[in-house]
Structure 1
Amino acid sequence: MPEVLPADVADVLGVLLGGEDPVHAALRAHVPHLRVRDRCTCGCGTAYFDLDRNLVSPAPSGSGTVVAAEAQIVTADGECPGEVLVFAQSGYLAWLEICSWSDDIEVTLALARQLLQR
């Protein structure tokens, strides 16, 4: 059963979908209606969403799957061990992905949340 959107996921979506971009604004309207359907089993924090499409309008992001927002994760010493991406499918939020590029720093949603909110 899908779980209510956890605060860490909501916080990171808030940062990535902030601003005046019309696609981001439309996707922000989806957030109150999102539920987490599944999480990656490796512990990175990647979350796959369920969304009742009858409750929201699609964002003008085009058809198919697109990266709707992204941000590199940069540590205090300037290292960039990974990134966070938000995917939309046919204009609807689909998943939040945490990508690691480093063997030295464990890249997780908790790390992304901490570093993106500074």
Structure 2
Amino acid sequence: MIESLAADVADVLAAVLNADDPVHVALRRQVPHLSVRARCTCGCGTAYFELVTSEVEPAPTGPGTGVAAEAQLVTEAGECPGEVLVFTQGGYLSWLEVCSWSDDIEVTLAAARHWLQSRS
């Protein structure tokens, strides 16, 4: 089932994709054309995208799959429980992954959103 791009996903992409990086600027242009194709079932918030590629140009990331952006997550206490990674395939946004490095702090997309917004 395809769902529209939820605010939590859009907010995290906006926080991770730097407006000063030309590749990130090209990826930001794709966001209005994104929808969520699926989410990870473990509850982490990882989202897999569907993109209407005929509506946008690919970013200059190369033909394969790669990490186009990443951000370490830092809590208010200064702990680093995980990170967020943005993957592309062939220059198009493909998925947003939420990674946990901690057994003590729950790392979800909602938590990532909060930590990323609190540092700006």
TM-score grouping bracket, smaller chain normalisation: over 0.9
The runs of at least 4 consecutive aligned structure 1 residues that moved more than 4 Å come to none
Secondary structure in 2 matching 1:9:
helix
Percentage of matched positions with identical amino acids: 71
Residues paired across the two proteins, number:
118
Secondary structure in 1 matching 2:106:
coil
Q: Which amino acid aligns with 1:107?
A: V
* 1:20 Cα deviation after fit: 1.1
* 1:76 Cα deviation after fit: 1.1
Structure 2 CA distance, aligned partners of 1:80 and 1:58?
Answer: 32
Secondary structure in 2 matching 1:50:
strand
Secondary structure in 2 matching 1:69:
strand
Secondary structure in 1 matching 2:25:
helix
Secondary structure in 2 matching 1:71:
strand
Q: Which amino acid aligns with 2:12?
A: V
Which residue number in structure 1 is paired with residue 29 of structure 2? Answer: 29
Q: Which amino acid aligns with 1:2?
A: I
Unaligned runs of 5+ in 2: none
Structure 2 CA distance, aligned partners of 1:96 and 1:50?
Answer: 12
TM-score of the pair, normalised by structure 2: 0.96
Superposed CA RMSD: 0.6
Which residue number in structure 2 is paired with residue 2 of structure 1? Answer: 2
